[in-house]
Amino acid sequence: MATASFITHITAAGERWDLLAWRYYGNPTLYSPIIMANPLVPIEPVFEAGLTVLIPILQQSQAAAVNLPPWKQQSAQ
């Protein structure tokens, strides 16, 4: 049973780890937390339909935002 710190995603044929990271985090390079949360899901280039994948809910860090280029930082206004 998933806790509140995860979103349950059921894959469609052809989805990939990076596409899930883009969909849920807005950044395709953040696929590592998804892979780490799903040790029983095979590491394949594409998913088959119907796999259950847990998507960890990431907490945004203030420190990470400081290291972003200005055009990627959100305005504090």
| Domain assignments of the chain as residue spans, ordered by start | 6-72
Task: Give the pLDDT confidence of 39-54 residue by residue, as tens digits.
Answer: 999 999 999 999 999 9
- For the entire predicted model, the pTM comes to 0.71
Residue 77 has pLDDT above 50, yes or no: no
Report residue 45 as tokens. Answer: 């280039």
Residue 60 exposure: Cα atoms within 13 Å on the Cβ side? 11
